[in-house]
Amino acid sequence: MKIIDISILRHQQPFPAAVGPEHVTLDLLTIATDEGIQGHTFAGGPGEDIASVLLDVVRPMLIGLDPLDIGRVWAMTGRRGLPATVRGAVDVALWDIAGKAAGLPVHRLIGTVRDHAPAYIATWVHRDIPTYVDEALAYREMGFTAHKLHPLTQLRHFDGKQVPVTDDIDLCAQVRAAVGDRHVLALDAAWAYDYPEAVQVGLAIEELGYAWYEDPLAADDLYGYIRLKQQLSIPLMATEVTQGGLTALAPWVVERATDFLRGDVVLKGGITGMVKIAHLAEAFHLPCEIHDAYNSLNNLAGLNVMMAIANCQWFEILAPHAPGSYDIDALSYGLVEPITIDPTGNVHAPTRPGLGIDIDWELLRASGELLG
Ligand SMILES: [Mg+2]
């Protein structure tokens, strides 16, 4: 089998939440082969446009290669000068081809370890505490057993507002009071705090029985995380967006700067990159929590990884939704059917070949623009 072409279909996905953009650009990458099998994913990180690099630089590199030489291509796309997300996009599309060629879902090719896992809701950002409380109760009612907050201080980023860190502590306390002690809660501060704020919030959510404390400090502040971990007993989760992929994570493990490794197929080198990171974590008896990957096809890719590694506990569902409409539609936007979540809040492994769920071509082509 040989790669014969690469193309990109650009589509604008409506973004339903009250905070944030009106649309998110989805660049559907297609890698075509001479045997008629095509591999797909959505290319690029959030807000990042890698279409011209893929079409002008990567297309000539890949045409004529065997798409099953995934490791070879992974090495080629890690070369100096290419954005890291190029490697992730090409890798996911090649695994999709490999699964389709084998007639198996991708997790079967890696080595399946389970067929379902618990999922949690990760909130989008809201402007007041009652909205977060209503939301937590609504998703609990739908069967989810765990819930993660992206708190009010995120409005520093979205609205340019000076939100005091005590607002986040109030939020965490009120959500805990509403959902009760047995619901799993976590806080993802998304790099918003300085060191004193991070200590203050961490001590508060420890008391509130939160399960983990994610990304309080700047993403590259390895020494800050080491200091913070010495102040807190709550597990600290870092490395979601660290630059440099697999090899950049070695110091985080060796310096004991995080209690988890973390990443997604988009930023961390695709399915191949995430499997390598999970195995690195496994060698140190660390969990590797897979991050919601910004869009449906990459969420499916992450799900396939999760079904083939033992050291990831939770499937993350980032749930931006229209005010009052508590859905998880963003998880599967652009697929012909949703990723399966059962009434007890478990996600189930894909069973069909490749990434495992077909693309809704009608939807994507409706406002789609073919690039290059
Ligand atoms: Mg996060």
* d(CA 190, ligand 1 centre) in Å: 6
Dig out the tokens for 170 from the structure.
């109030």
**Sign of the CA dihedral with 8 first, then 303, 123, and 196 last:** negative
Residues of the chain with pLDDT under 50: none
Residues 207 and 299 in one domain: yes
Residues 122 and 240 in one domain: yes
Dig out the tokens for 233 from the structure.
């007993």
Instruction: Look at the block and give the residue holding tokens 């990443």.
Output: 263
Residues 191 and 318 in one domain: yes
Instruction: Please give the pLDDT value at position 153.
Output: 98
Instruction: Please give the pLDDT value at position 79.
Output: 86
Instruction: Please give the pLDDT value at position 372.
Output: 74
- What is the total count of domains within the chain? 2
- Asked whether 151 and 215 are in contact (CB, 8 A), the reply is no
* d(CA 363, ligand 1 centre) in Å: 29
Dig out the tokens for 186 from the structure.
């976590």
Q: What is the CATH number of the domain that holds 95?
A: 3.30.390.10
* d(CA 237, ligand 1 centre) in Å: 9
Ion ligand 1: protein residues whose beta carbon lies under 5 Å? 188, 240
268-295: b or e for each residue (b if 16 or more CB lie within 10 Å)?
Answer: bbbbbbbbbbbebbeeeebbbbbbbbbb
Instruction: Please give the pLDDT value at position 72.
Output: 97
**Other CB atoms within 10 Å distance of the CB of residue 46:** 13
- Asked whether 109 and 339 are in contact (CB, 8 A), the reply is no
User: How far is the first Cα of the chain from the last one, in angstroms, to the nearest whole number?
Assistant: 24
Residues 129 and 217 in one domain: yes
**Alpha-carbon distance 228 to 218, whole Å?**
12
Residues 312 and 222 in one domain: yes
Instruction: Please give the pLDDT value at position 40.
Output: 98
* d(CA 4, ligand 1 centre) in Å: 37
Residues 65 and 136 in one domain: no
Residues 33 and 118 in one domain: no
- Asked whether 322 and 347 are in contact (CB, 8 A), the reply is no
What are residue 220's phi and psi, to 5 degrees?
-100, 10
Residues 220 and 192 in one domain: yes
* d(CA 319, ligand 1 centre) in Å: 13
Q: What is the CATH number of the domain that holds 251?
A: 3.20.20.120
Residues 336 and 241 in one domain: yes
3-state helix, strand, coil in the chain (%, to 5): 40, 20, 40
- Asked whether 314 and 119 are in contact (CB, 8 A), the reply is yes
Continuous H helices in the chain: 51-53, 59-62, 70-77, 84-102, 106-110, 129-141, 155-158, 165-179, 195-207, 222-231, 245-248, 250-254, 270-283, 296-306, 361-366
Residues 164 and 235 in one domain: yes
* d(CA 212, ligand 1 centre) in Å: 11
**Alpha-carbon distance 22 to 31, whole Å?**
29
- Asked whether 354 and 97 are in contact (CB, 8 A), the reply is yes
Q: What domain range is 318 assigned to?
A: 108-348
**Alpha-carbon distance 9 to 30, whole Å?**
8
- For 215-269, the DSSP string reads --S-TT-HHHHHHHHHH--SPEE--SS-TTHHHHTHHHHHTT--SBEEE-TTTTT
* d(CA 119, ligand 1 centre) in Å: 15
- Please tell me the total number of residues recorded for the chain in this structure: 372
* d(CA 347, ligand 1 centre) in Å: 19
Residues 175 and 252 in one domain: yes
* d(CA 67, ligand 1 centre) in Å: 32
Residues 112 and 81 in one domain: no
* d(CA 317, ligand 1 centre) in Å: 11
Three-state secondary structure call for residue 324: coil
* d(CA 189, ligand 1 centre) in Å: 8
